[in-house]
């Protein structure tokens, strides 16, 4: 018995089983099977959602590698999207390292080899002039989030060309899994302007343009065409720029941040998570922010993005901009950023100090006496024993954040940071590390990853239909993430909320960000009396819908 007429566009029979958004497989009820032409296309047994989840877990358990699990889960998403989200949301601690860093990094390295069904839109520069037409080929019409990359700086793995498509897909998976943003409204986009990765150009299974990267005015005008076309085809869409090389990431953000609803996750999202970690760490040490001194290894998108947000937060704590800048020092491949250097890009100049050059990181630590070091260099093991021991000599509780991803590019492991600091480090890494046993203590490393920020900011932007994304929204998000860390978490050494509860944490963060959006007059909906109930009401749930 149907409950009224069926929607005209509801697929039937095999088409329905091949529509991942609607497919419930063996969970289609007898009623649905009769009404939708499914009788005989499924075995007689009618499953519950839970039974289908049990079968997924059983099959995952039989896979011997995380790559195998990644491929299985992405195929599941192609087949039954609800079940995919139900699975990964059932245990974020187990599944985040598979759909996200570190496994997604390995998946991107070999994307042309493991690819099954395409997901998202590929915009090749050879199709310039046709971007709006191509975006219209996407079947969904109300797109609210695009995560876009050109594949040039995929995690710390460098230029992976169109193989980098795994990142927009993974980030958008997390919008839904960690914040309930409806998956139907999310679109991964790959801008293909070629690749300078010789190994990929030689790989017969590589699927992108086989040419060196296009740069300069031609690149810029293609990105202009993309941003303009998004406004035309998806007028309520927020664009998240992801994993662009800094030569493009920084100018793109500067060009569009005040014109359209957009942000750069590596610059602003990462800054949000770093500030959150610092604020929570200070709850642990009881020291004021205005007395902290940070030294960064790496002065690219993430390094300058974090430093810039720290400066703003320190200003809110009462320091002048100049005083705050004196508390952020950056060190890159050519040493400390000092005014006498003539190799600095314009986005790095504001962080160059009037100080003598220094080419040795440990020497820089000894002279600047930082309270925290933040690794955003993608240089594996750059925080060596000398570095950690120097930090531990200077600080009772040194802040050590090896933020580079994936795990193979972390500046140090959790075990190293704890061992070389005699267990005193306040530690968080971009990719997860397992708990560390030190003497009779078990230390639990936190994950300092922008996943604590972008899904929650995204949920707030989605619910309020915000017109812009501002730095203040990331400061609010950072404060809200830090506030989610309980006294018990702090006592256990954690400076981020446990990943197991990331969905609830994101909702609380989104509520605060939404308040900031309303206060700034950037919302396109009326401010509701009960903001939390409003945010919750906008969230997608990973449950099968009754189709008839
Ligand atoms: N945890 C998280 O949430 C996030 C982590 N990240 C990670 O941060 C890393 C950097 O990202 P991003 O800032 O976008 O990349 P960029 O390429 O913009 O920056 C990398 C920086 O590291 C410097 N660097 C390279 N080699 C060395 C070296 N041997 N010693 C000192 N500095 C060096 C580079 O200098 P030069 O340009 O001169 O080579 C550059 O300043 C990546 O691994 C990424 O995965 C990024 C975003 C979020
Ligand atoms: C986490 C992230 O955005 C990165 O490593 O690039
Ligand atoms: Mg990134």
pLDDT tens digits along 385-435: 999 999 999 999 999 999 999 999 999 999 999 999 999 999 999 999 999
Q: Does domain 268-451 have CATH number 3.40.50.720?
A: yes
Rounded Cα–Cα distance for residues 423 and 445 (Å): 11
Token couple for 295: 């030294």
Predicted confidence (pLDDT) per residue in 430-456, tens digit: 999 999 999 999 999 999 999 999 999
Whether residue 159 has its Cβ less than 6 Å from ligand 2:
no
Domain ranges, ordered by start, for the chain: 13-99, 122-260, 268-451
Token couple for 532: 């939390």
Q: Is 496 a catalytic residue?
A: no
Q: What is the structure's pLDDT at 3?
A: 55
Whether residue 516 has its Cβ less than 6 Å from ligand 1:
no
Residue 115 Cα to ligand 2 middle (Å): 22
Q: Is residue 153 part of an annotated ligand binding site?
A: yes
Q: Is residue 405 part of an annotated ligand binding site?
A: yes
Q: Is residue 538 part of an annotated ligand binding site?
A: no
Q: What is the structure's pLDDT at 1?
A: 41
Whether residue 409 has its Cβ less than 6 Å from ligand 1:
yes
Q: State ipTM.
A: 0.99
Rounded Cα–Cα distance for residues 406 and 154 (Å): 10
Residue with tokens 């609010």: 476
Q: What is the structure's pLDDT at 313?
A: 98
Rounded Cα–Cα distance for residues 62 and 233 (Å): 43
Whether residue 302 has its Cβ less than 6 Å from ligand 1:
yes
Which class in CATH covers the domain with range 13-99?
A: mainly alpha
Kindly provide the residue ranges of all beta strands, DSSP E only, lying in 237-278, ordered along the sequence.
Answer: 238-241, 262-264
Per the residue annotation, which of 171, 175, 452, 496 is the catalytic one?
171
Token couple for 158: 């460098």
Asked if 539 and 460 touch (Cβ cutoff 8 Å), the reply is: no
Residue with tokens 């005014």: 339
Across residues 496-523, what is the average pLDDT? 98
Longest CA–CA span in the chain (Å) reads: 80
**pLDDT averaged over every residue in the chain:** 97
Q: Does the pLDDT of residue 2 top 50, yes or no?
A: no
Asked if 448 and 273 touch (Cβ cutoff 8 Å), the reply is: yes
Asked if 180 and 110 touch (Cβ cutoff 8 Å), the reply is: no
Residue with CA at minimum distance from ligand 2 atom 5? 155
Per the residue annotation, which of 24, 85, 86, 100 is the catalytic one?
100
* CA-CA-CA-CA torsion sign (404, 406, 409, 414): positive
Residue 404 Cα to ligand 1 middle (Å): 7
Predicted confidence (pLDDT) per residue in 126-184, tens digit: 999 999 999 999 999 999 999 999 999 999 999 999 999 999 999 999 999 999 999 99
Which CA distances in Å does 99 have to 240, 243, 285?
A: 18, 17, 34
Distance of CA 123 to the CA centre of its chain: 21
Q: What is the structure's pLDDT at 18?
A: 97
Rounded Cα–Cα distance for residues 105 and 167 (Å): 8
The two beta strands, 426-429 and 335-336, are unpaired
Predicted confidence (pLDDT) per residue in 308-365, tens digit: 999 999 999 999 999 999 999 999 999 999 999 999 999 999 999 999 999 999 999 9
Whether residue 403 has its Cβ less than 6 Å from ligand 1:
yes
Token couple for 235: 């007028």
Predicted confidence (pLDDT) per residue in 211-265, tens digit: 999 999 999 999 999 999 999 999 999 999 999 999 999 999 999 999 999 999 9
- Alpha-carbon Rg of the chain, whole angstroms? 24
Residue with CA at minimum distance from ligand 2 atom 6? 155
Atom of ligand 1 nearest to the CA of 377: 22
Q: Helix or strand or coil: residue 347?
A: coil
Whether residue 406 has its Cβ less than 6 Å from ligand 1:
no
Q: What is the structure's pLDDT at 9?
A: 84
1/364: higher pLDDT:
364
Rounded Cα–Cα distance for residues 367 and 217 (Å): 43
Q: Does an H or E element contain 375, and which?
A: strand 372-375
Q: Cis check for the bond before 299: say yes or no (omega within 30 of 0).
A: no
Residue 155 Cα to ligand 2 middle (Å): 5
pTM for the predicted model, two decimal places: 0.97
Asked if 146 and 133 touch (Cβ cutoff 8 Å), the reply is: no
Kindly provide the residue ranges of all beta strands, DSSP E only, lying in 154-308, ordered along the sequence.
Answer: 186-192, 238-241, 262-264, 294-297
**Pocket-testing residue among 152, 240, 405, ligand 2, by greatest number of atoms within 8 A of Cβ:** 405
Q: Is 100 a catalytic residue?
A: yes
Tell me, yes or no, if the two domains 122-260 and 268-451 fold the same way. Answer: yes
Rounded Cα–Cα distance for residues 436 and 423 (Å): 10
**Pocket-testing residue among 376, 450, 477, ligand 1, by greatest number of atoms within 8 A of Cβ:** 376
Q: What is the structure's pLDDT at 5?
A: 67
Q: What is the structure's pLDDT at 7?
A: 75
Asked if 240 and 455 touch (Cβ cutoff 8 Å), the reply is: no
Whether residue 266 has its Cβ less than 6 Å from ligand 1:
yes
Residue 520 φ then ψ, to 5°: -85, 0
Predicted confidence (pLDDT) per residue in 266-314, tens digit: 999 999 999 999 999 999 999 999 999 999 999 999 999 999 999 999 9
Q: Is residue 117 part of an annotated ligand binding site?
A: no
Residue 376 φ then ψ, to 5°: -135, 50
Report the percentage of the chain scoring pLDDT > 90. Answer: 98
Residue 329 φ then ψ, to 5°: -120, 140
Q: Is residue 137 part of an annotated ligand binding site?
A: no
CATH number of the domain located at residue range(s) 122-260 in this protein? 3.40.50.10380
Q: What is the structure's pLDDT at 146?
A: 98
């Amino acid at each position: 018995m149907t409950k009224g007429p069926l929607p005209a566009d509801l697929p039937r029979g095999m088409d329905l089983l091949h529509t991942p958004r609607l497919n419930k497989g063996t969970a289609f009820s007898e009623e649905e099977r009769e009404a939708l032409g499914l009788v005989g296309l499924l075995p007689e047994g009618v499953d519950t959602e839970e039974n289908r989840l049990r079968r997924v877990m059983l099959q995952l358990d039989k896979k011997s590698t995380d790559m195998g699990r990644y491929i299985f889960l992405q195929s599941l998403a192609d087949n039954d999207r609800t079940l995919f989200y139900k699975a990964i949301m059932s245990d974020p601690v187990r599944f985040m390292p598979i759909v996200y860093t570190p496994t997604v990094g390995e998946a991107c390295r070999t994307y042309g080899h493991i690819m099954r069904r395409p997901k998202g839109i590929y915009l090749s520069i050879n199709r310039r002039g046709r971007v709006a037409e191509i975006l219209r080929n996407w079947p969904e019409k109300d797109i609210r989030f695009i995560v876009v990359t050109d594949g040039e700086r995929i995690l710390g793995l460098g230029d992976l060309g169109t193989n980098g498509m795994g990142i927009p897909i993974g980030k958008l998976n997390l919008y839904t899994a960690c914040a309930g943003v409806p998956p139907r409204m999310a679109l991964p986009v790959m801008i293909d302007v070629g690749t300078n990765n010789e190994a990929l150009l030689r790989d017969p299974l590589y699927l992108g343009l086989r040419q060196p990267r296009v740069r300069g005015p031609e690149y810029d005008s293609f990105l202009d065409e993309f941003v303009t076309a998004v406004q035309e085809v998806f007028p309520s869409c927020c664009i998240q720029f992801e994993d662009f090389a800094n030569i493009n990431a920084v100018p793109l953000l500067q060009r569009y941040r005040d014109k359209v609803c957009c942000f750069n996750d590596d610059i602003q999202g990462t800054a949000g998570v770093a500030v959150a970690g610092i604020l929570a760490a200070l709850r642990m040490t009881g020291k004021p922010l205005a007395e902290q001194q940070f030294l960064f290894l790496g002065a690219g998108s993430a390094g300058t993005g974090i430093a810039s947000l720290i400066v703003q937060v320190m200003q809110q704590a009462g320091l002048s901009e100049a005083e705050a800048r004196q508390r952020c020092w950056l060190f890159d491949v050519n040493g400390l950023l000092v005014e006498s250097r003539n190799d600095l890009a314009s986005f790095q100049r504001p962080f160059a100090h009037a100080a003598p050059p220094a080419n040795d990181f440990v020497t820089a630590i000894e002279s600047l006496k930082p309270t925290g070091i933040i690794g955003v260099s993608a240089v594996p093991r750059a925080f060596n024993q000398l570095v950690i021991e120097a930090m531990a000599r200077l600080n009772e509780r040194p802040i050590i954040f090896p933020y580079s991803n994936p795990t193979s590019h972390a500046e140090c492991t959790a075990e190293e940071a704890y061992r070389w600091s005699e267990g005193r480090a306040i530690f968080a890494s971009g990719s997860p590390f397992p708990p560390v046993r030190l003497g009779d203590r078990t230390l639990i490393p936190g994950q300092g990853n922008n996943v604590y920020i972008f899904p929650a900011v995204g949920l707030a932007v989605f619910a309020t239909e915000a017109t812009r994304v501002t730095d203040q929204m990331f400061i609010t998000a950072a404060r809200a993430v830090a506030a989610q860390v309980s006294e018990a978490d702090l006592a256990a050494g954690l400076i981020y909320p446990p990943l197991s509860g990331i969905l609830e944490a994101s909702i609380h963060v989104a509520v605060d960000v939404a308040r900031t959006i309303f206060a700034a007059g950037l919302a396109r909906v009326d401010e509701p009396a009960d903001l939390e109930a409003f945010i919750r009401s906008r969230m997608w749930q990973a449950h099968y819908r009754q189709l008839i």
